[in-house]
Amino acid sequence: MTSPQRPPGTRVLWPLAALLTLAGLVLLTLSLTGPGDRSGADMVGARPGDLVSVGEEGMSVWSRSPDTRADTVCTLDDQALDRPTEDFTTRVAGEEFHEVARTGGSHPTGDQPLVCDTEDTVYAGPFGPATAPTGLRGGTGLTLGLLLLPLGLVCAVLAVLARRRTVEVEQGPDPGAYTLDPRTSPPPQDPYGPPPSGPPGQAGGPTGPRYDLPPPP
């Protein structure tokens, strides 16, 4: 008995499906969770006139309230800071902070006095765009995850179909499903009835010596 031959590539479908599905789930998890909470030391409370440090990336002014940005103007060394056109948030030590203002691309670095015309508490912190998730923790990871996860599911479906086809080939047709044609099958014989008649020598006819022939000379 020969073993059933599986279609080419069937053995690699299951490992490939598992790998693609796992990679897609990991990438989706990374992209949705983002970079995680930042350290509380990233935010430094600032009162009007306090010196804040501006690094190479720049800096942003933050507030716990999303409404502070609407009516607040901040200056750094008497130079007005840019105001974000929409709400931009980051999480620090489990708490959300909303960006109020940020430095421009040509702003000088160093320690400079910060003044914001608001009664809300503001914080000097990291440059807003630098806190946005990028790469695998951002849009790239989300795109790859949405691509790899469906591919893994498709490979799993193909593996199931290939497995089912292999089992059907191995089992083959059921001989019991076929019956003899009643027009060609011999009639049933009664073991207690008279022997069937027929020409001598034919199956079902009488056997033994023939007495209807003349004796030999």
Note whether 167 and 123 are same-domain residues.
no
In a domain? residue 30: yes
Whether 141 shows a pLDDT value over 80: the answer reads: no
Note whether 66 and 29 are same-domain residues.
no
In a domain? residue 59: yes
- Note the pLDDT tens digit of each residue in 79-123: 999 988 888 888 887 788 999 999 987 888 899 999 999 999 999
Note whether 101 and 157 are same-domain residues.
no
Note whether 70 and 14 are same-domain residues.
no
In a domain? residue 187: no
Which residues make Cβ contacts (< 8 Å) with residue 89, sequence separation at least 6?
66, 96, 97, 98, 99
Quote the CA–CA distance of 68 and 96 in Å, as a whole number: 13
Note whether 124 and 141 are same-domain residues.
no
Quote the CA–CA distance of 29 and 141 in Å, as a whole number: 9
Note whether 128 and 141 are same-domain residues.
no
Residue matched to tokens 């912190």: 125
Note whether 120 and 146 are same-domain residues.
no
- Span 187-200, average pLDDT: 59
Last residue of a domain, one of 103, 132, 161: 132
Contact 125, 43 (CB under 8 A): yes
Mean pLDDT is lowest, of 68-72, 149-153, 203-207, for 203-207
Q: What ranges make up the beta strands (E) of the chain?
A: 44-46, 50-54, 59-63, 74-76, 79-80, 89-92, 95-102, 110-116, 122-126
In a domain? residue 217: no
23: number of Cβ within 10 Å: 17
Q: What confidence category does residue 33 fall into, taking pLDDT thresholds of 50, 70 and 90?
A: low
Note whether 79 and 122 are same-domain residues.
yes
In a domain? residue 181: no
In a domain? residue 154: yes
Note whether 111 and 166 are same-domain residues.
no
- Span 158-176, average pLDDT: 66
Identify the residue with better confidence: 217 or 121.
121
In a domain? residue 97: yes
Quote the CA–CA distance of 191 and 187 in Å, as a whole number: 13
Note whether 54 and 68 are same-domain residues.
yes
Note whether 127 and 151 are same-domain residues.
no
Provide the number of structural domains found in the chain: 2
Residues of the domain holding 101 = 40-132
In a domain? residue 208: no
Q: What pTM was estimated for this model as a whole?
A: 0.49
Note whether 81 and 119 are same-domain residues.
yes
